[in-house]
Amino acid sequence: MSRIGKIPVSVPAGVTVSFTPGEVKVKGPKGELTQPMDTSISVKVEDGSVSVERSGNSKQQKALHGLYRALINNMIIGVTKGYERRLRIVGTGYRVELKGSTLEISAGYCHPVNMEAPAGIEFDVPKSASREYMDFIVRGIDKQKVMEVATQIRRVRPPDLYMGKGIRFSDETPRKLDGKSFGS
């Protein structure tokens, strides 16, 4: 049995989990999420916990067992607490502005790059005291969507290996290369 898949997921108060063959829905104070599921996996909701079970022991079903348990756990966390990913833009003249629901990124190109917030995602740009870097936040209830949008923003200008300029995750330490060295 999958080590992750056999652990039951506790359901906090105010969250409802419903399962129909092929789909699981989680509804909570922050919103509602649905996840399509393989028909060989079933979900039991009882006494404030959710358990995931598989119908067979094939390699595919064993892999899906732990996967769907983790996805349901992420959905429950998302509808109760939500997810956020902090990013940092580093470089002289590099900045981020929030205009409505659009994130305007000035990252050294001749034009600003506009990123429209998809449904369920919001951007936040707190005031920054530093002139060297600026932090901003991507928030939402769907973990996959939050991480995907944050990665798309990072791709606008990935960190430079020599100067360290660019967009990075705030907890990321980019690899820096030494410049040219002259032998003696």
What tens digit of pLDDT does each residue of 92-131 get?
888 999 999 999 999 888 999 999 999 999 999 998 767 7
Q: Measured between alpha carbons, how far is 163 from 61 in angstroms, rounded to an integer?
A: 47
Could you tell me the pTM of the whole model?
0.87
The tens-digit pLDDT sequence of the chain (184 residues) is 468 888 999 999 999 999 998 899 999 999 999 999 998 899 999 888 999 999 888 889 888 999 999 999 999 999 999 999 999 999 888 899 999 999 999 988 899 999 999 999 999 999 876 777 888 999 999 999 999 999 999 999 999 888 889 999 999 887 888 877 776 5
Q: Measured between alpha carbons, how far is 49 from 8 in angstroms, rounded to an integer?
A: 6
